[in-house]
Structure 1
Amino acid sequence: MEGGKTMNEATRERVHTHVQAVMNRLIEKRTILEPFLEHQIAERNPFGFSVVPTEVWKGAKFERSFVTVLGQGIFEQLGKIIAEGAGAIAANQYDKDLRLNTFQVDTIGDIISNQRARLRKGEIRQAPDLTQELANLANLQTNRYQDISIKSDLYIRRPDGTEEYYSFKTVKPNLDQTAEAKKNLLMLRAGDSNCKAYFALPYNPAGEGNAYTLAGHSIPKKLFNMEDKEYVLIGGDLWNKIGNDENTYNELINIFQEIGQRSKERIRTEYFDL
């Protein structure tokens, strides 16, 4: 990890304001705009409603809303704020135009198709070696080319000119999401060997510091080596890379905890009527 300053006060304030606004909108939606209606659960799931306390259904509805909100660009937007605070140029939903030869484009398609097929068949094999896959792509030559455009959830250009592309996914992505991330990563790195492209998961569902595979979700490891930080960044590794500082992840967690002191109380009183 390169050296750098910890998150400055202006960046902390931008992150705090962004997350606070998200929580305010979520609480308003669940308590005012689209409140929990007990009779709907009774109508739509009469068996479950009969044996499970209302509090469980109510809590589950809030959790689904919260997870949905986080998945609608919140993490990638925080990435932009943090990268800018570290002195970089950053953008969300960034389009990169590339030119690859047709052999490379076809081979990338074959790599993804073959790995998807093996996953569906339940075949056991070693984790993919993306370094070798990229080396093979670099050796493919033809005078026929194809122009393509890749959209990245987060783009970062560092002061030294280094370019980074991040594909943010849910922490337990499905096969389509994982395949899309790998295809984009191979396209970007094959089209520009000087760039860095990453499969980005905002936190580790197995717990920070643990192997991702302990979370019991096997899909990503069929297309990625989930321990290879050259291509896969999870939790602390991701946020510390974006912030260019080893303390970024902990500082981000601290900001969420600060906001939680108020948001938890509001949810208890305004949503659960406790």
Structure 2
Amino acid sequence: MDRGFDHIGSAELDEATKAELRNVTDGFFERPLEKAGNFDWEEFKRNEAFKAIMMPSPLFWVLANFERSFTQKLGQQMYEEFGRAVANTNDAVGAAETQYACTGLEIGRDEEDRIETIISELADGERDPDWDAEKRELRDIDAPPETRKSIGKVTWDLWVEDFRDGRPLAAEIKTPKPNRDQTMESKRQMLKTVAAYKHRDAPTPICRYVFPFNPYGSLDAYEWWPPQAFFDVRAEDGMLVADGFWDAIGGDGTMEGLFNFLLDESEGNIEKLKELAGDETL
């Protein structure tokens, strides 16, 4: 099979990581392949004659059925599960979980007010995003117990224990063209977590806003405007983007190795789809 991905190098993941990832990909492919296998070309020709006549290839419609089901299973859940699998086979970091809930969090009234001020000023363009400066503002606020209130739980897409210097990674994963409200809420979640962990006997998480890939190729070329009010995306400030994310949780070359793993896995599924369609034109 001609892969046609000349920009991907030769990095390979270790066998333990491939095995863990294969558990994830099998789950993503199982139902879409089943739906494709249930496609009845003769029934389709009778019931959907206009479509069948205009595109008289069973392979096309098998692929269409597969694609609809497959796309429904994709989205950010895929990146969370890939991230968990990669981190859990990397001895340099601790255990990873998806949809990890930090519970029993409290912040002071002054801390909450400062968070809302930061968010408002960023949204209105009255300040530039600066993650270190924003964290310092919260650390400088005294919030005695009597001023604190519960903020319930905060749920992170991916949590990796002992990520750096004994501190966990708390990752909020978004596709790289999020809307303004999504980005604003993620920044608020990061700030609340930093403030709340001031009052806990536990290491403060390393909070990161994550893009698992970058459709613009490089950070310098990134131009999607909604998140840039809240994050200095081109400086990857408070963020992990594309290989910056995968290599951080899995080691150098992880993103490239992940691509090569997925290319290998996809070949078998394409052969299965060809067999289901009885068509060797692909």
Scaled to the shorter chain, the TM-score interval is 0.7 to 0.9
Q: 1 CA distance for matches of 2:25 and 2:228?
A: 31
Q: Does residue 249 in structure 1 map to residue 255 in structure 2?
A: yes
Distance 1:224 1:72, change over 3 A: closer
2:87 aligned residue (53, 58, 83):
83
Q: 1 CA distance for matches of 2:209 and 2:33?
A: 31
Residue type at the aligned position of 1:96: C
The answer for the alignment partner of 1:27 in structure 2 is 33
| 1:154 Cα deviation after fit | 0.8
Q: State the identity as a percent.
A: 26
The answer for the alignment partner of 2:111 in structure 1 is 104
Cα RMSD over matched residues? Answer: 3.5
Distance 1:106 1:269, change over 3 A: farther
Contact 1:102 1:146 in 2 (8 A): yes
Contact 1:153 1:166 in 2 (8 A): yes
- CA distances 1:4-50 after superposition (whole Å, capped 9, x unpaired): xx854222111023213312322323553899x797897xxxxxx9x
Distance 1:154 1:259, change over 3 A: same
Structure 2 matches for 1:156-175, cutoff 5 A?
Answer: 156-158=160-162, 161-175=166-180
- CA distances 1:123-170 after superposition (whole Å, capped 9, x unpaired): 6x7741122122112222343112222110111112752211011112
Q: Does residue 135 in structure 1 map to residue 140 in structure 2?
A: no
Structure 2 regions of 5+ residues with no counterpart?
A: 1-11, 199-203
| 1:104 Cα deviation after fit | 1.3
Distance 1:205 1:126, change over 3 A: farther
| 1:76 Cα deviation after fit | 0.7
Q: 1 CA distance for matches of 2:39 and 2:127?
A: 49
**3-state SS of 1:189 partner:** helix
Contact 1:205 1:212 in 2 (8 A): no
TM-score computed with the length of structure 1 as normaliser: 0.76
Q: 1 CA distance for matches of 2:86 and 2:197?
A: 25
- CA distances 1:98-118 after superposition (whole Å, capped 9, x unpaired): 3221111222233334444x3
**3-state SS of 2:84 partner:** helix
Distance 1:180 1:257, change over 3 A: same
Distance 1:261 1:271, change over 3 A: same
The answer for the alignment partner of 2:213 in structure 1 is 203
Contact 1:201 1:233 in 2 (8 A): yes
- CA distances 1:153-201 after superposition (whole Å, capped 9, x unpaired): 1111127522110111122112222122111111222333632011111
Contact 1:202 1:234 in 2 (8 A): yes
Contact 1:127 1:221 in 2 (8 A): no
**3-state SS of 1:190 partner:** helix
Contact 1:204 1:212 in 2 (8 A): no
Q: 2 CA distance for matches of 1:272 and 1:246?
A: 42
**3-state SS of 2:74 partner:** helix
Contact 1:7 1:85 in 2 (8 A): no
Distance 1:166 1:192, change over 3 A: same
Aligned length: 251
1:238 aligned residue (245, 266, 270):
245
Contact 2:87 2:160 in 1 (8 A): yes
Q: 2 CA distance for matches of 1:219 and 1:114?
A: 15
| 1:68 Cα deviation after fit | 3.6
1:217 aligned residue (221, 224, 229):
224
**3-state SS of 1:227 partner:** helix
